[in-house]
Structure 1
Amino acid sequence: MTIRSGILAAGSMLVDHVQRISHWPEQGWLAEIHHSEKCSGGAALNVLFTLARMQIDLPLAGVGMIGEDSDGDFIVQLLDQHQVDRRLVQRTRSVNTAMTQVMTTPDGQRTFFHARGANAQLDLPHFAAIHTSHRIFHLGYLLLLDCLDLPDEHWGTRGAHLLAQMQQRGYLTSLDLVSRVGEYQALVVPALRWLDYLVINELEAQSLTGVRLRSATGIAPPDAFAAAATWLVQQGVRRRVVIHAPEGAWGQEVNGEGRWQPAWQLTPEEIVGSVGAGDAFCAGVLYASHQGWPMTETLKLAHTCACFNLHAANALDGTRPLAEMQRWMDQAICVTCTAEAGRITSAEKT
């Protein structure tokens, strides 16, 4: 019997062109670009590269579609640099690599302008021959993968079909979504019964479950997060549901207890950007789940990964080796301890 180890991440692969701007302008007006850089982006790459930079010594591999262009070359270079297996990353000449223009304001808030590119072509046939020995298969972002979001008469969606196939091949399956306006239950709910892990933010959970988790007056109490997580478990998620927000995260063990873990505090000066912070949080959940950590320690690590992500304008440069982040985590202060200190949270806008 093969001992499974490592994480296989599939889905969105793109290049973020990050622009740090002076302010968000009114329509028709000008804002200055103070700094420009490019970085890999998308759920698959962000999770894989975060894990690689944590130096966790687990096998990592990616599945995706990129173009035969300079952005595609950039992604290949980074995959090799981070020692991520790219044999399942395919290239096409028919469409460019997906890309996003990310506008980041001085307070760390960001706005995205996205071209789906080659990601839109990723489909079931690309996974037909995949039988690796990785333990976890992670897919993201559903709602941005055109072919996998298509309806399927038997499975509900092609994405649900994929997750069912991967679970039946022995993988523990994981899913992340993208935050989008509108109702998208029909695209997501069919996949839930084929998941072992679901990691989403409070706005995505609110849209899926109908449980109000955030309003104009702020975040809902943990009991509301518990209700949303319970609904998601009832749809079929098999092991863990994690719902994260700027103020903290709710983790629910299926057939076990739920837990609210406040986020860590950062001063405004410590925050450079928040591109990929949600993916960094997800990477922490996946690593801790892979290692069998309890929920409390899982959420603490996930908050720590998000926190370090905020130290850089792009999705990667803030991440540090796991041992260094754990030392920082041991002395970190949670949001409830300094609520009156004028600080903001580690998971801001994840």
Structure 2
Amino acid sequence: MSSSRSGFITGGTWCVDHNMVLPRWPEEETATRILSANAQGGGAGCNFAVDIRRLAPEIPVATVGLCGEDPDGRLLRGVATDHGIDISRFHVDPALRTHRTMAFTSAENGRRTHIFEADASDHLTPDHFDFDGVTARMLHLGLPGTHARLDGPWQGDPSGWVSVLKKARAAGLRTNMEVMSIPRDDLRRLILPCLPHLDYLVVNDYEIGAFADLQTVQGGATSVPGVIAALRRVMELGSMEIAVAHFPGGAVALDRSGGVQSHPSTRFPQTEVKGTNGAGDAFAAGFFCGHHRGVALRDCLAYAHAAAAASLRSVDTYGAVESLEACLALAARTGWRDALELGAA
């Protein structure tokens, strides 16, 4: 990344996650007791920003978002200011209700189910994004599929996401997009037009397979050669310098020259997993903290895995994220899985 710029600006989803732990996900027509509940910030704009500030407090972070003038909106602005995030571009509209998500986690297996009401997020448009005077190195943008206005065409562009990415690049920012695991056809429709306007892409095995229209996960198992093949195809469709796909066993990174780097994940004990909410955000934040610090690509993957593992200790998205040094120390204590078998991609 250019040394003349510093830090990140996030944009897109800021929501309040109403986190609830259930004994197990219930069957229809039954009742289930909530074991614990809390409310925290969530969404791509929030999670990445907070994670960066927790992982590497020396890195400045600003954000663009939209919320209502309601208790949830005040909670989100409080989360941002408590973490030293610049909210001068964070918009408040009293006519809107802040995006909220009911985030259920099963105590039985740690799996999550999200049910959301977007409202404010649905009203976010490219006009809310003003990059004048921004000195950050990179825009981290998301989440397609949760913003009605951004998901649709905008002033001749295929979507508002494309318009925002083009504005960011024109302002001298590098770009990265966070996505979520919505149906494959929706992912392709929303993300493929964005690929020519991205400098980086960090996603999971399912998502990279959807973009490439390749099968990367079968029977719950990740095909590492399949992931590499998908990364190569997606790299041909976009302008990314680096594309990364992560999965439970590790991660693979592909650079523009075709070079492949990989790193296994940690052996974090399943018995200590409180929830997986925000693990993907923590992975991306760890990766880009390493990239911002100028470490080697494989070490960026190690940073990413360490941050993601640390996040698993809390049911919310960022409550257990600590400094990079603490996350790496945790990874060293739990150990790393065996090296990935890359196979023939």
**TM-score normalized by structure 2?**
0.93
Of stretches 45-54 and 182-191 in structure 1, the one that deviates more from structure 2 is 182-191
Distance in 1 between residues matched to 2:233 and 2:157, nearest whole Å: 20
Distance in 2 between residues matched to 1:329 and 1:22, nearest whole Å: 28
| 1:292 aligns with one of 271, 290, 294 | 294
| 1:229 aligns with one of 228, 231, 236 | 231
Aligned to 1:79: 80
Q: Deviations over 1:37-80 (max 9, x none)?
A: 11100001000111111233011111000111000010111111
Structure 1 residue 291, shift from structure 2 partner: 2.2
Residues 2 and 133 in structure 1, CA contact (< 8 A), matched pair in contact too: no
Q: Deviations over 1:181-207 (max 9, x none)?
A: 240322211111111111111111121
Structure 1 residue 271, shift from structure 2 partner: 0.7
Aligned to 2:207: 204
Structure 1 residue 153, shift from structure 2 partner: 7.0
Distance in 1 between residues matched to 2:71 and 2:154, nearest whole Å: 35
Change (3 A) 1:335 1:129: closer
Distance in 1 between residues matched to 2:311 and 2:115, nearest whole Å: 21
Structure 1 residue 333, shift from structure 2 partner: 2.2
Residues 144 and 178 in structure 1, CA contact (< 8 A), matched pair in contact too: no
Distance in 2 between residues matched to 1:163 and 1:290, nearest whole Å: 20
Q: What is the percent sequence identity of the aligned residues? A: 26
Residues 243 and 253 in structure 2, CA contact (< 8 A), matched pair in contact too: yes
1:1-350 pair list within 5 angstroms: 3-106=4-107, 107-128=109-130, 130-152=132-154, 154-184=156-186, 185-216=188-219, 218-220=221-223, 222-336=224-338
Distance in 2 between residues matched to 1:272 and 1:123, nearest whole Å: 35
Distance in 1 between residues matched to 2:154 and 2:128, nearest whole Å: 17
Change (3 A) 1:150 1:2: same
Distance in 2 between residues matched to 1:165 and 1:118, nearest whole Å: 22
Aligned to 1:344: none
Distance in 1 between residues matched to 2:3 and 2:260, nearest whole Å: 32
- Cα-Cα RMSD: 1.8
Residues 154 and 160 in structure 2, CA contact (< 8 A), matched pair in contact too: yes
Task: Name the one with the larger strand percent.
Answer: 1
Change (3 A) 1:131 1:235: farther
Q: Deviations over 1:151-198 (max 9, x none)?
A: 247432221121012112110111111111240322211111111111
Residues 55 and 289 in structure 2, CA contact (< 8 A), matched pair in contact too: no
Structure 1 residue 22, shift from structure 2 partner: 1.1
Runs of at least 5 residues in structure 1 that lack an aligned partner in the other structure: 338-350
SS where residue 139 of structure 1 aligns? strand
Q: Deviations over 1:270-312 (max 9, x none)?
A: 1111111111111112212222222210111111111000001
SS where residue 214 of structure 2 aligns? coil
Structure 1 residue 7, shift from structure 2 partner: 0.4
Distance in 1 between residues matched to 2:276 and 2:248, nearest whole Å: 11
Change (3 A) 1:217 1:284: closer
Aligned to 1:343: none
Change (3 A) 1:279 1:296: same
Distance in 2 between residues matched to 1:335 and 1:129, nearest whole Å: 41
SS where residue 240 of structure 2 aligns? coil
Residues 198 and 237 in structure 1, CA contact (< 8 A), matched pair in contact too: no
Q: Which amino acid aligns with 1:3?
A: S
SS where residue 35 of structure 2 aligns? strand
Q: Which amino acid aligns with 2:12?
A: G
Distance in 1 between residues matched to 2:183 and 2:166, nearest whole Å: 27
Distance in 1 between residues matched to 2:44 and 2:130, nearest whole Å: 21
Q: Which amino acid aligns with 1:111?
A: T
Q: Which amino acid aligns with 1:201?
A: N
Aligned to 2:343: none
Distance in 2 between residues matched to 1:329 and 1:25, nearest whole Å: 34
- Count of aligned residue pairs for this structure pair: 337
Structure 1 residue 336, shift from structure 2 partner: 2.8
Residues 268 and 334 in structure 2, CA contact (< 8 A), matched pair in contact too: no
**TM-score normalized by structure 1?**
0.92
Of stretches 241-250 and 285-294 in structure 1, the one that deviates more from structure 2 is 285-294
SS where residue 83 of structure 1 aligns? coil
